[in-house]
Structure formats: C-alpha cells, structure tokens
Structure 1
C-alpha cells in the first residue's frame, strides 16, 4: 500500500501553501514596518524557526506600522493563524505518524479558519486604527 494517497498529497500541498503564506505575511508586515529588506525576512522566516521567532518577538516590536494592513496581508495572516492552529489541533487528535497527521491536518485547518478570521479581524481592525495595528 502506498503512503502517498490523495489525502496525504493534499495535506502536503496545504503545508507548502501555509509555508508560503508565512513568508508572504512576514514580507508584508516587514514592509509596512519600514524594513529595508522585507523580501529577505519573507524568505528566511519560514525557512528558519529561529529567524521567525526573532522577527516576531524582537525585531517588529519596536517598529510601528507606516500604514494599515491590506486585504492581502489580512488574508495571509488568516492562513498563517489557521495553519498553525490546525497543526496543533491535528497533532493532538491524530496518531503520531506523519501520514495520519497529513490527512487530519486539512480538516483541522478548515475548522480553524473561522476562528483565525475572527482573531485577525480583531487584531487588524478593518477601520485601520493604528493603535490596534501595532499590537499584531
């Protein structure tokens, strides 16, 4: 029996999609915060968890946004939040083998999308209030 079933292939493709969304969101956010090289942040952050943690916990904290988030930035943030939340939920409810996790994760991702939408909507605030935008 082959381990690469259509469900596993879809889960793997979704992992890549979320991975690209992480890079896009970091790129959008770094650009809005005045980085000289937002593309470098966007490439390195999803590749290295250390760079992503440094970006989220240290670099972006001292820099305020120059402009409110666009609809594309909000959309990528929703995918990123739902992706990470789905990964946590999927790992808690599925057996520990990667094949099972890749089949459960897309369902968990889809279930986390409404919550991610709500979280991102509250954090970004559709009116563009900069005090709320600085918190994310």
Structure 2
C-alpha cells in the first residue's frame, strides 16, 4: 500500500492488457478505413478516401455509408467480387467493432473492466465475423429472413 502520496507500480498484466487494447483499437480504425476505401472504390464512388475518413472519424460516417450502400444511393453494385483483402478487412472491422460495443455494453463503469471485457469479447466476435462476413453467412441469413 503506497504511503504519503507515493505512486504504486501498475501490474504487468494491466500494462499488457492496455497495449493489446490499444493495438486492437488502432487495427479497428485501420481496418474500417481500408474496407470503406476499397468498397467505395469498387462501387464507383468518386471520393472513397472521404468516405473512409468520415467512417472512421465521425460517429455517423459508417452508419451513413452503410445506409447509402444498402440503398444504392450514389454507390452502385460492385464491379468485381470482393477480394481476400476486402473480406479480411471487413471481418476484422466487424469483429473489433462488435468487441468494443459488447465490452462497453456489459462492462462495469471502470476503465480496466472495459479493457478486459472488450478483449474477452474479441475472440467470439472474430469467430462470428469470420462465419458471417468472410464466409458470407450473412447472405444466407438475409435470404432466410427476407432482407
């Protein structure tokens, strides 16, 4: 127990957890940006980099891009099927977004718990994203539901 205002040393687990969390956040931002740029370019957008910046740095950018993409407003059909890089970027972006949302939804209100919950949510989110995004399982589910 620290005495007289002395600062205690943080545990190595906390330092490693924070580093992994920061790496996950940076990789999420990069994968979202990469996927949006490649997808917008494949759909014939005149400003794919602007879409990526909006998707990454504004809270409404990604939902608005997905809305426009779904409704085909200014974004047409893909000229070619998604490549492996497109599917990997989309899978990583979906998994990391799901992990951050799951962690923030279920974690108690302290920063370390958010960090731990987000990291715990990432593995199941990555498996789900692999099945739904990379393998195209969302198409099967959308066809069965009628979307």
TM-score range normalised by the length of the shorter chain: 0.7 to 0.9
Give the Cα separation in 2 of the matches to 1:58 and 1:99: 37
Q: Determine helix, strand or coil for the equivalent of 2:112.
A: helix
TM-score, normalising length: structure 1: 0.80
Contact 1:33 1:60 in 2 (8 A): no
Summarize the Cα distance change of 1:57–1:103 in structure 2 as closer, same or farther, 3 Å threshold.
Answer: same
Q: Are 1:86 and 2:96 counterparts?
A: no
The structure with the largest alpha-carbon Rg is 2
The CA deviation at 1:103 is: 2.4
TM-score, normalising length: structure 2: 0.75
Q: Deviations over 1:32-71 (max 9, x none)?
A: 1001121221222111122222211125531211110000
1:53 aligned partner: 63
Give the Cα separation in 2 of the matches to 1:56 and 1:21: 15
Q: Are 1:41 and 2:41 counterparts?
A: no
Give the Cα separation in 2 of the matches to 1:111 and 1:23: 23
Q: Determine helix, strand or coil for the equivalent of 1:5.
A: helix
- The one of the two structures with greater contact order (alpha-carbon pairs below 8 A, sep at least 6) is 1
Q: Could you list the runs of 5+ residues in structure 1 that have no partner in the other structure?
A: 126-131
Alpha-carbon RMSD across the aligned residues, in angstroms, is 2.3
1:103 aligned partner: 116
Q: Could you list the runs of 5+ residues in structure 2 that have no partner in the other structure?
A: 1-7
- When structure 1 is superposed on structure 2, of 17-26 and 55-64 the one drifting more is 55-64
Aligned length: 126
Q: Determine helix, strand or coil for the equivalent of 2:136.
A: helix
Q: Are 1:24 and 2:34 counterparts?
A: yes
